[in-house]
A and B are shown apart, each in its own frame.
Chain A
Amino acid sequence: MDIPAEPIVQVTDLVVRYGERTVLDGITTAFAPSQIRVILGTSGCGKTTLLKAIIGLLKPHAGTIRLFGRQMKEPDSPETAALLRQVGVLFQNGALLGSLTVADNVALPLEMHTSLPKKIIDEIVRCKLAQVGLPHAAALYPGELSGGMRKRAALARALALEPPLVFCDEPSAGLDPVTSAGLDDLLLRLRDELGITIVVVTHELSSIEKIADRIVYLHKGALLFDGTLADARRTGPGPIDDFFSRREPVRRDGDRAVRFNVEQRV
């Protein structure tokens, strides 16, 4: 496997289980700086679980996760909290705090983790909201925003501390094609202008084709492919080919869970 010399994220032999069910089985991958890495696969393959494990929301059953060269410890440990301050996360539905305005949401990481004066924080919030195209939404509450605006506001919050690494969980989910394309452009700008490493979980083909520098393809909890999009398209018949061809998976031997006894098929 092609692993970059100094990866910003390094996942080694990661195993995650929900009860007795293994959701991720021996995942090993590494993400290089200033790239957009797309984690993809069909629904239920473990994409979001991988993301949650990397950002410390799920405790792995086995394996190690290193961010910026430092190993992630227990989810509640101070070391993990310190590492996570260098990471921004855009959740699938934004996960903005409903009791705070958009401006307060964006200001929250700055208020909690810096000693900047209030006026400077307010100005940073205005800059971040302008950066994501929401200059007039500062005083609104999350419940008053559309899906796309909510995601943009959440991205502004994720970028508040100017983290070198941003994770996005299905940024295009539930958005119209125009808003979705706008969000993709925004991610590209962040990579190109600020050199931010972005990890995107998605299964939107148009988005993948537009933004992915490299992809990680998960299938039934295992890593099936780690490389460029062009190489992924050349893998031949299999789940990856099915995915890019936008077709239902071809039934292969062993896929059938129930075998019926058939006498004289007609």
Chain B
Amino acid sequence: MIPASLTREWVAANYAQLSGAPSANLVLDFTATTRIDTAGIALVRLLHKKHEAAGSTLILRNIGAAVLSMIERTSDGAAPPAAGRASGGLAGFLERTGRAGFDLFDLVVKALSVLTEMMYWGSFGLLKKRDIRKGVLGEQMYQLGFKAFAIVAILSLLVGIVLALQTAMQLRQFGAGIFLAPMIGISMIRELGPLLTAIILAGRSGSSTTAEIATMGVGEELDALQTMGLNPIQFVVVPKFWAITLTMPVLSLVSTATGIFSGFLVSFVYLGISPNLFWVELSKNIFLRDFTAGFIKSVVFSWLIVWIGSFYGLKVRGGAEAVGRETTASVVTAIFAIIVADAVFSFIL
């Protein structure tokens, strides 16, 4: 027997009792019921679906026209889509795994498509059409590169000091303090300069790339560009691609130089090594191939940052929440990809 008011309090108290596996037809007596709220409607709809699925029947007895009307009025097209709801057991596991596999494949294809388009429209595509505003490259170099100058320099200086100090303490025990110069030089040029710069730019410029492109997508600005006959990749992504490609090696050099300078400071102050000896030892052990390795790394890292930033920006669907979510994902993925690439480079360069 359903009470006079089928409301959320009654539903909360009686749901467990009514929602067991349906074994036979269930009769709900609405004789006394004059009022129903959404929780009550949801209960009736849920029981109806359960019984329908089990082959039994839910019978609404003596239901008032007004109450029935309220239940029916909210029932149009209400059935949730069957697709996407995996069943349990092994079949469910396989279905979920398969679906996840397809989703991942789709994601990889889309990401590679963005990379291909970015590379094409940023190189050969420029011979075909040039949907790039005048002055935008300089603007992007300022935004993505120059504005990161101070933070790259300061962080590299601090990391350099920490690294040099820790190393110097160990080297001093063996009277090998002089090796600090080549050690800090090689590690900054080949490894830490490009890596530190890339991680800072992934957090700073990569996130701003994702957020900007995502906001443009949500606000239909990318659609608007397309309807103006402009290629959104060339208009939005290519200037960033070139800006970061051109500024990243310079920022890497800044990072390397400040890192080495911090090593010099530590060796001079802490180890008492003369400036002249430091620079002689450094220049004896640094070769052009070290600079080449650092340069190649910084260019590849810059492409990873702009590619991943753009891909996550272009894939945003939804509103502001999606923009925030994809921006976070973009930064995490970019840093991960940079570190993986750095590990790969350690073997081949």
Q: Is A98 an interface residue (CB 8 A)?
A: yes
Residue in contact with B227 in the complex, picked from A56, A99, A258, CB distance below 8 Å:
A56
Q: A266-B62, A266-B64 are in contact. Are A91 and B224 (CB under 8 A)?
A: yes
Contact B134 A96, beta carbon cutoff 8 Å:
no
Q: A256-B76, A266-B63 are in contact. Are A261 and B57 (CB under 8 A)?
A: yes
Q: A93-B219, A95-B219 are in contact. Are A85 and B229 (CB under 8 A)?
A: yes
Q: Is A134 an interface residue (CB 8 A)?
A: no
Contact A258 B79, beta carbon cutoff 8 Å:
yes
Contact B227 A84, beta carbon cutoff 8 Å:
yes
Q: Which residues of A contact B79 (CB under 8 A)?
A: 257-258
Q: Is B223 an interface residue (CB 8 A)?
A: yes
Residue in contact with A75 in the complex, picked from B31, B44, B220, B226, CB distance below 8 Å:
B226
Q: Which residues of B contact A78 (CB under 8 A)?
A: 129
Q: Is B21 an interface residue (CB 8 A)?
A: no
Q: Which residues of A contact B224 (CB under 8 A)?
A: 89, 91, 95-97, 154
Contact B62 A264, beta carbon cutoff 8 Å:
yes
Cβ of B64 to closest chain A Cβ, rounded Å? 5
Q: A91-B220, A266-B62 are in contact. Are A109 and B68 (CB under 8 A)?
A: no
Contact A258 B48, beta carbon cutoff 8 Å:
yes
Q: Which residues of B contact A97 (CB under 8 A)?
A: 216, 221, 224-225
Cβ of B174 to closest chain A Cβ, rounded Å? 57
Expressed in whole angstroms, the Cα–Cα distance for A85 and B231 within the complex equals 12
Name which residue of chain B comes closest to A109, CB basis: B228
Cβ of A83 to closest chain B Cβ, rounded Å? 8
Expressed in whole angstroms, the Cα–Cα distance for A57 and B222 within the complex equals 10
The proximity string for A residues 70-82 relative to B, scoring 1 for CB distances below 8 Å and 0 otherwise, is 0000011010011
Q: Interface on B for A, CB 8 Å cutoff?
A: 27, 31, 44-45, 48, 57-65, 68, 71-72, 75-79, 83, 129, 131, 133-134, 212, 215-216, 219-221, 223-231
Q: Interface on A for B, CB 8 Å cutoff?
A: 20, 52, 55-57, 75-76, 78, 81-82, 84-85, 87, 89, 91-93, 95-99, 108-109, 111-113, 154, 255-258, 260-266
- Can you pick out 30 interface pairs between chain A and chain B where the beta carbons lie within 8 Å of each other? A52-B223, A55-B227, A75-B226, A76-B231, A78-B129, A82-B229, A84-B226, A85-B229, A89-B228, A91-B220, A95-B219, A95-B220, A95-B223, A98-B219, A109-B229, A111-B133, A112-B131, A112-B133, A256-B72, A257-B79, A258-B45, A258-B78, A258-B79, A260-B60, A260-B72, A261-B57, A262-B63, A263-B62, A265-B65, A266-B64
A-B complex: 7 closest residue pairs judged by Cβ atoms: A95-B224, A258-B75, A95-B220, A81-B229, A89-B227, A85-B229, A84-B229
Given contacts A256-B75, A262-B60, 20 further A-B contacts (CB under 8 A): A85-B228, A93-B219, A98-B216, A98-B219, A109-B228, A111-B133, A256-B76, A257-B75, A257-B78, A258-B72, A258-B75, A260-B48, A260-B60, A260-B68, A261-B57, A263-B27, A263-B60, A264-B62, A266-B31, A266-B65
